[in-house]
Amino acid sequence: MLHFYNKPPVSAAEIHGRLGPARVLESSGIPFVIFGEDALAFVHFVPTVLFDLTILVPCDLVQAAVEHLQKELPQYQVTQERSYQLLNNDVCALPRAMRLRDGAIEKPNLSPEAILIVPQSHFHFDVRDETRSRGLIPPFDSSDSRIRFPTMPAFLDAIIDTMFEPVDGVNHLEFRTSYLSVFLSYLVLYNVRDEDGATDPDTEELLPAAKALLEGLKPGNIAYLDTFMRTGSTRMTPELRAARERHRVSRGIVFPNLLKIG
């Protein structure tokens, strides 16, 4: 039986420890948003294992962010190692991200073992748009008060946008199934908060909590999320692709033909 949370499923001490590098980055003045498992757990109450501390920054400030972290936290060094979720046939799903790893045997203050600095465009996110991000939920350490995380609509949009419009047009199967689809499933499950699904078994209508997840989404993503919540399938059907294509064309966005990896 699943347990649904009304607060972060990790301790305040762990949150503060994990966000140590983010506090350091904040001192640089570089805008950023925390993504990944930390965002799932800390502000959306999803119980999950915490891996790399994933930080989105403006595309032209990735190197500056890495250099600042290395200067202030010299135990973190750039590594070419990547999580299995990001690799498929040696192709990385986030090719211009940079990863820093702590080589120390003992990690003080519950700090993360690795930090992944990701260009915001890899997830179609604008870290400077404060309407798409939020802070921690009280109580929290005052030094963490300015650290931002994706709102629910922004998180869902980032996932769906990246499914349909992957980096460099490369349809990376491992990343889509082990990362994006898992995140989407977690966000829906732990916010609808019903083990039996997102629809009323009698009327087949979406439950109120499921309908709420559609609010604030980009128009081109509503049909996909609605279908996912009704069917549980993350498959991009021809109908959904066509609807998305119409939305993409209306925005004047051009992407190369998708190259399937895996």
Q: Quickly list DSSP for the chain.
A: -----SS-SS-HHHHHHHTHHHHHHHTTT---EEEHHHHHHHHH-------SEEEEE-GGGHHHHHHHHHHH-TTEEEE----GGGEETTEESSTT-EEEEE--SS-GGG--SEEEEEEGGGGT--TT-GGGEE-PPSS--GGGTT--EE-HHHHHHHHHHHHHS-GGGEEEHHHIIIIIHHHHHHHHHHHHT-TT-SB-TTT-PBPHHHHHHHTT--HHHHHHHHHHHHH------HHHHHHHHHHHHHHT---PPPEEE-
Q: Is it the case that residue 260 has pLDDT exceeding 60?
A: no
- The pLDDT score that the predictor gives to residue 254 is 52
Average pLDDT over residues 163-189: 94
For domain 12-150, the question of CATH label 3.10.450 is answered with yes
Q: How far apart are CA 21 and CA 97, in angstroms?
A: 16
Q: Is it the case that residue 258 has pLDDT exceeding 80?
A: no
Average pLDDT over residues 249-260: 57
* 104/219: higher pLDDT: 219
- The pLDDT score that the predictor gives to residue 240 is 87
> What does the pLDDT look like over 61-70, one tens digit per residue?
999 999 999 9
Q: Is it the case that residue 262 has pLDDT exceeding 60?
A: no
- The pLDDT score that the predictor gives to residue 259 is 52
The overall pTM is greater than 0.85:
yes
- The pLDDT score that the predictor gives to residue 77 is 96
- The pLDDT score that the predictor gives to residue 105 is 64
Q: For residue 226, what are the contacts with CB-CB under 8 A and spacing of at least 6?
A: 206, 214
CATH 3.10.450 maps onto the chain at 12-150
Pairing, β 91-92 against β 87-88: antiparallel
Q: How confident is the model at residue 99 (pLDDT cuts 50, 70, 90)?
A: very high
> What does the pLDDT look like over 119-169, one tens digit per residue?
999 999 999 999 999 999 999 999 999 999 999 999 999 999 999 999 988
